[in-house]
Structure 1
Amino acid sequence: MSMMEPPNAPTTEEVRNALYKVLGPRIMNCYELKQVNGQRKLEYRARLNMPPPAEGCEVFVGRLPRDLYEDELVPPFLQVGPIYEVRMMMNFSGTNRGFAFVSYFDRETARKAIKKLDNYPIRWGHSIGVLQSINNKRLYFGNLPPGKEWKTQLLSFLKENTEGVTQVVVRAQRGCSNAIVTYSSHRAAAMARRALIPIKDYVFGPSCLVDWADPAV
Structure 2
Amino acid sequence: MAEGTIYMWSVNQANKAAHEAWVKETGIQLVQINGQRKYGGPPPGWAGSAPPSGSEVFIGKIPQDIYEDKLIPLFQSVGRLYEFRLMMTFSGLNRGFAYARYTSRHNAQEAIATLNNFEIQASYPIVVCRSTDKCELCIDGLALSVREDHLLPMLQELTTGVLSISLHLSPCRRERQLAEVKYISHHAAAIAKKALVEGSLCLCGDDIEVDWLKPNIKQKLHNTSKQAFPGILPSKYFHRDAPSKIPSGLVDSYMQPAVGSVLDYLNLQCEERQLGLPLFLTKCVQKNREGWLRFWYQVVIPKYPFPLSGFIWIKPGHSGMEDHEEAKNAVALQLLKILGCPVV
TM bucket, shorter chain: 0.7 to 0.9
Equivalence for 1:159: 156
Residue of structure 2 equivalent to 1:6: 10
Same amino acid, percent of matched pairs = 36
Structure 1 residues 130-161: Cα deviation after superposition (integer angstroms, max 9, x where no partner): 01111011100112122x13312210100111
Q: What are the residue-to-residue correspondences of 1:108-187 with 2, within 5 Å? A: 108-146=106-144, 148-172=145-169, 175-187=175-187
Distance 2:157 2:13 in 1: 38
Amino acid of the structure 2 residue aligned with 1:184 = I
2:196 is the counterpart of 1:190: no
Summarize the Cα distance change of 1:3–1:187 in structure 2 as closer, same or farther, 3 Å threshold.
closer
* TM-score, scaled relative to structure 1: 0.85
Match of 1:92 in 2: 90
Distance 1:9 1:99, change over 3 A: farther
Mapping of 1:195-206 within 5 angstroms?
195-200=195-200, 202-203=202-203, 205-206=205-206
Matched, 1:210 2:210: yes
Tell me how far 1:204 sits from its aligned partner.
Answer: 6.2
Letter in 2 for 1:193: K
Shift of 1:60: 0.4
**Larger strand proportion, structure 1 or 2?**
1
How many residues are paired up?
Answer: 207
Deviation at 1:59, TM superposition (A): 0.3
Change in CA separation of 1:176 and 1:203 when aligned onto 2, cut-off 3 Å: closer
Q: Which runs of 5+ in 2 are unaligned?
A: 1-5, 219-344
Residue in 2 aligned with 1:53? 51
Q: Distance in 1 between matches of 2:58 and 2:130?
A: 6
Residue 50 of structure 1 and its aligned partner are, at CA, apart by 2.2
Taking the TM superposition and a 5 Å limit, the aligned residue runs for 1:24-103 are 28=26, 31-43=28-40, 44-47=43-46, 49-103=47-101
* Higher Cα Rg, which structure: 2
Q: Which runs of 5+ in 1 are unaligned?
A: 22-27
Kindly indicate whether the alpha-carbon contact (under 8 Å) linking 1:9 and 1:95 is maintained by their aligned counterparts in 2.
no
Give the conservation status (yes or no) of the 8 Å contact 1:145–1:177: yes
